[in-house]
Structure 1
Amino acid sequence: MLINPDDRPANGVFPVRSALLDVFAPRAAAVLVFLLVFGLLGGWILAGRMLAPLTRITDATRMATNGSLSHRIRLPGREDEFRELADAFDTMLAQIETHVAEQRRFAANASHELRTPLAISKTLLDVARTDPDHVTGDVIDRLSAVNARAVDLTEALLLLSRAEQRSFTREPVDLSLLAEEATETLLPLAEEHGVTIETRGDVAPTSGSPALLLQLTTNLLHNAIVHNLPEQGTVWVGTGVRPGTVVLTVENTGEKLTPELAATLTEPFQRGTERVRTDHAGVGLGLAIVRTITHAHDGTLTITPRTAGGLRVTVELPAVSPHTDR
């Protein structure tokens, strides 16, 4: 049907177009409202599911801040960025919990070790004060021995703290020279215990603190001498070079040790109950100091029981060119 232009309404809108708008406008508005509501609801649900892992991580962080280090997120689901973040956070919490436990155990052991000489000193002084027939010279000698032990323990604790903080300047160091120096220093002690020291090895250049690395070598050698056979014991000291690393090895004869016991010997104040005890057994920090100095120099420490008895201790440190100036 043709519409005559002269038949247009005054407002210029055809009746058919107006009718179409009246029919579809409400429907279009309803569809838009539905899409808006559906989008908001779907977005809210999706955001909630995506933010749920963050909420769990946040809650775990608050619990850790309040001192609860045993809590773990253990986020379920597929391997995505949130899962990796949660797993990394759990690993960090486990490491912190282990470190805190070690520090608490160390503090308790250190307090016990320091309290022992102080208690002995107090007892000796009380006895000397109340006993009119006491021998002054004997009391002084015993007090001197107890005080020397307390001083050695305090110096060992300070050395351990210094190594942990890595507050030292790195210099070129040859482990073979340190091994020779430590052997010369402890040779009288070895002769006193009837122990033979055999040295061998090549130039082993590394970088670090000469004083701390000498202390490391001395501790290993001292430990190998005093925890040896009652007579006719042997200590082997060697240095060598491997691809990218230098190695210091100290072996000794002695009592047979289990791998489980050997694994605990680097703990502070840990003294193997199966090992030979002497008056030179030290304060229980020798191998703990060795471990700390090794880690401070970015090295690795390996302790292995020998089949015939005794230990094999290997320290591996990064190698440097002997002509490198640092």
Structure 2
Amino acid sequence: MQIMQTRRRFLAGAAMAGAAGIVGLPESLHAEPPLETTTVRLPRWVGGAYCWAGAYIAGELMRADGFTDIRYVEADKSVDQSEWIARGETDFSVNFPPNQIASIDAGVPIKVLTGLHSGCLELIAKESIRSVTDLRGKRVGVDGFNNSRHVWLSLMSAYVGLDPVNDIQWVLTEDVKPTELFVQGKIDAFLGTPPQPQELRAKKIGHTILNNAVDRPWSQYFCCMISATTDYVNRYPVATKRVLRSILKAADLCVSDPERVAQQVVDRDFVPSYDYALQTLKDIRYDRWRDFDPEDSLRFYTLRMQETGMIKSSPQQIIANGTDWRFLDELKRELKT
């Protein structure tokens, strides 16, 4: 695992000035309590995660907010972030609610702090498959069992009455990209994350049978949420709030100026393609952190996971043991538009 320091000039300082001007910075940092630490570690995937743009550009806002040591910890996508934060390799995590719920259920000391956005998952299938119920007996590609895609697909199939264990032919994609297997006709469907759906749409291959940006009930809940280690939250509450403030301001910037954000994440080598970055920012909903109740999302997914036997904890236990909404409540008041 590598650590990438954000010490490089942010487009020679010009882009940062523009970003700060758009989202706004605190009127007076010394009107707030001093930071207990000026260091924070955030996740970064090798090859980039297009839907993490809000967390990627937040680093420079954190620097303007008093942080001097902002690290992006880089690891391969085969390792889920829940493992990074459980091992203490990052202070914050951007992850799917089911992954965070599983961690809380297992006793990992994290606190979910806010939802970030919805709409970064699309279930891609061949033309003859028109709905999730049509996946019965079909070959569905996953890159591992009990990981993000397998869990999501299990929850989605169980929700419409399928038995995820017996009704679906799971195909391990292993080191091959699911898009390649799909194009080759070796799998009938897979759950795509950016830029996979965008790539296939450009080639007019397959179609989307479920998009969690628009299809209920999934569109009514966050698909990515922000968590932090319990230790960081307890030891550094001022720093925790400022990190969260920077991420939420960056989310607002993703909505108000997606072109600028897309260019910044490419120029800073977080992702390789401007076109896919821009399309992703236009497809997913970064505006929903203000409107959705993150507790509702955790309750919904916890119930679905209980129904499929993935976890033992109740929604009340997950919320009581693994959440801290005080920073979000304060920031919603402070960042009113």
Same fold (TM over 0.5): no
Give the TM-score range, shorter chain.
Answer: under 0.3
When normalised by structure 1's length, the TM-score is 0.19
The structure with the larger Rg is 1
- Of Structure 1 and Structure 2, the greater helix share is in 1
